[in-house]
């Protein structure tokens, strides 16, 4: 047998021990060092793995010359506000111990803090980048704020300064609007879900024309509920336009980027949500004054036109209108007659010319020059002597009549007796 303390050198067989014994001994040596139980180590993350089935995180922390393995168990990983990424420079806090099975020493960390920025800011930037890539910040998706809202939904703390500012500004600017306040948690556990419930309430009941969601200023921790991914998606999915009013003018949250309009303060949100009744009265008064002036000028113009028309000849001497038309009608009648005569004369000349041409082509014209047309006994025109023989009876048409004849001889084209 041997003792657990290898430093005593008391073994049954001092020349050998098991691997497990060696690793256990080294583990106890490291675990007993107080400076290794509360340690901060800086380095760059590589080979990051998130075992989603167990929730544990494993990665390597390295610098220019060395590397060490790091493990973060589920209970600690669940509290992280951001997701570690390869290449990210961080400070890890935890203890150093040995995983006896592998003989591997590693850091068992309970927190990870990005170098140069806080964990919350890192988480903010990561979510902002993710939602931007998905198009949740796209201006094309932004809805217009109604010009004259009747009901305004407000999702905020019922006791904070923000709701008082919104009420005061709204009543001063647009007193006819109905303000409906949904009392919500604005920080701490359950705040994000409470804000989401407020949005769902107004969307499910159609109880508002526009929604203001927000709170007064505070630290990034105080405003963190407005950086939640679920709230961002709820704002994006809202069928009612949403105005975000979180913190002071210099404060920006994810809710600001995804909402339809971002107001720098709750008071400014109320000013964006409603018009100014006093300004509207002034505008209406100015429009009324311009309308009266314009109407007066129009009436004067019509009066002037009426005077001009009433003094015109057609109204002072109605018969002048008919006299002018009678003269015009007579002129048109003369022009019509002249045009008709010219057309008739042109047609007569054309007809005479065509008659002469037709007459020159008429067989009767040929007959008048001493020629005759010969037909056989059946009345068919004889065009050639070949068709005739001696003894045939023929008819000869002359210009002034028809003569019957008998063929005695036939010359040309052959002789038939």
Locate the domains of the chain by residue range. Answer: 6-116, 140-275, 367-406
Ranges in the chain, pLDDT < 50: 1-3, 9-11, 414-417
Name the DSSP letter for residue 201: H
**pLDDT for res 134:** 96
The pLDDT, as a whole number, for residue 95 is 94
Q: Which CATH architecture has domain 140-275?
A: 3-Layer(aba) Sandwich (3.40)
Residue 358's pLDDT is 78
pLDDT score at 253: 94
Whether CATH 3.90.320.10 fits 6-116:
no
Which helix (H) or strand (E) segment is 262 a member of? Answer: strand 261-262
pLDDT, residue 209, reads 97
Q: Calculate helix-pair angle for 229-237, 191-205, nearest 10 degrees.
A: 10
Which stretch of DSSP H or E encloses residue 299?
A: helix 277-310
Residue 48 contacts residue 85 (beta carbons within 8 Å): yes
Taking only the tens place, the pLDDT of each residue in 235-253 is: 999 999 999 999 888 889 9
User: pTM higher than 0.75 for the full model?
Assistant: no
Contact 240, 138 (CB under 8 A): no
Angle between helices 266-273 and 161-173 (to 10 degrees): 30
| pLDDT recorded at residue 240 | 97
Q: How far is CA 229 from CA 135, 226, 357, in A?
A: 14, 9, 104
Which token pair is 111?
């927190």
Angle (nearest 5°) at CA 167 between 183 and 280: 140
Matching fold, domains 6-116 and 140-275: no
Is 165:212 a contact under the CB 8 Å cutoff? no
Q: Which three-class secondary structure state does DSSP give residue 263? A: coil
307-340 burial: b if 16+ Cβ within 10 Å, else e: eeeeeeeeeeeeeeeeeeeeeeeeeeeeeeeeee
Map tokens 């003018």 to a residue: 249
Beta-sheet strand order (sheet of 242-246): 178-183, 151-156, 210-215, 242-246, 261-262
**Cβ(150)–Cβ(174) below 8 Å:** no
Which of 39, 37, 76 minimizes the C-alpha distance to 54?
76
């Amino acid at each position: 047998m041997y003792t657990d303390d290898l430093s005593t050198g008391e073994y049954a067989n001092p020349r050998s021990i098991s691997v497990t014994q060696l690793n256990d001994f080294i583990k106890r040596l490291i675990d007993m060092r107080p400076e290794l139980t509360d340690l901060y180590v800086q380095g760059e993350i590589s080979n990051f793995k998130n075992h989603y089935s167990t929730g544990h995180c494993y990665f390597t922390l390295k610098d220019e010359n060395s590397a060490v393995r790091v493990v973060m168990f589920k209970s600690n990983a669940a509290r992280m506000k951001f997701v570690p990424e390869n290449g990210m420079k961080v400070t890890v806090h935890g203890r150093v111990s040995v995983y006896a099975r592998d003989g591997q020493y590693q850091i068992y960390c309970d927190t990870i803090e990005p170098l140069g920025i806080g964990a919350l800011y890192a988480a903010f930037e990561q979510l902002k980048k993710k939602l931007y890539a998905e198009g949740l910040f796209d201006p094309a998706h932004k809805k217009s704020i109604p010009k004259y809202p009747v009901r305004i939904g407000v999702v905020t703390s019922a006791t904070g300064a923000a709701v008082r500012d919104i009420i005061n500004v709204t009543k001063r600017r647009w007193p006819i609007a109905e303000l409906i306040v949904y009392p919500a948690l604005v920080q701490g556990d359950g705040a994000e879900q409470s804000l989401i419930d407020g949005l769902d309430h107004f969307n499910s009941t159609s109880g508002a024309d526009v929604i203001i969601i927000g709170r007064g200023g505070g630290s990034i921790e105080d405003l963190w509920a407005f950086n939640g991914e679920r709230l961002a998606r709820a704002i994006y999915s809202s069928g009612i336009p949403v105005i975000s009013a979180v913190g002071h003018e210099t404060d920006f949250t994810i809710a600001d980027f995804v909402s339809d309009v971002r107001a720098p303060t709750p008071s400014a949100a109320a000013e964006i949500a409603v018009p100014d009744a006093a300004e509207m009265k002034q505008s209406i008064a100015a429009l009324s004054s311009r309308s009266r002036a314009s109407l007066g000028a129009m009436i004067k113009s019509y009066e002037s036109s009426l005077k001009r028309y009433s003094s015109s000849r057609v109204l002072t001497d109605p018969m002048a209108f008919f006299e002018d038309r009678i003269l015009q009608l007579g002129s048109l009648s003369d022009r019509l007659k002249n045009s008709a005569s010219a057309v008739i004369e042109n047609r007569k000349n054309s007809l005479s010319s065509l008659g002469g041409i037709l007459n020159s082509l008429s067989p009767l014209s040929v007959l008048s020059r001493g020629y005759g047309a010969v037909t056989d006994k059946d009345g068919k025109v004889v065009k050639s002597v070949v068709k005739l023989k001696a003894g045939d009876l023929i008819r000869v048409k002359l210009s002034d009549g028809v003569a019957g004849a008998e063929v005695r001889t036939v010359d040309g084209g052959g002789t038939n007796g």
